[in-house]
Amino acid sequence: MLTMSFILDGDFASFKDPSITTSQIVYYIPSKSSVIGIIGAIMGITRSHSFERLYSDSFIELMKKMRVGVELLSEPKKIIYYTNHRSLKESKTKPFKKEVSQFPRYRIYISSEYEEKINEVFNRINNNDFNYSPYLGHAYCPARLTDATIYDDCIETCGIDGELEFQTSAVVLDESENYDDSFEIQKVDPIADDSSILIERHLHHFFNNEVFQNRVLKFWIPVKSSYSFYISKKPTLSKLLNLGKDKDSIVCIY
CATH architecture of 2-151: 2-Layer Sandwich (3.30)
pLDDT: which is higher, 141 or 94: 141
d(CA 17, CA 33): 12
Residues of the chain with CATH 3.30.70.2660: 2-151
Say if residue 161's pLDDT is above 70: no
d(CA 53, CA 212): 13
| Mean pLDDT over each residue of the chain, to the nearest integer | 90
Strand 185-190 and strand 227-231: the pairing is antiparallel
Say if residue 56's pLDDT is above 60: yes
pLDDT digits (tens, 9 = 90+) for 196-221: 999 999 999 998 888 888 899 999 99
CA dihedral 222, 107, 248, 251 (to 10 degrees): 80
Which strand ranges, in their side-by-side order, compose the sheet holding 93-102? 12-13, 93-102, 78-86
pTM: 0.90
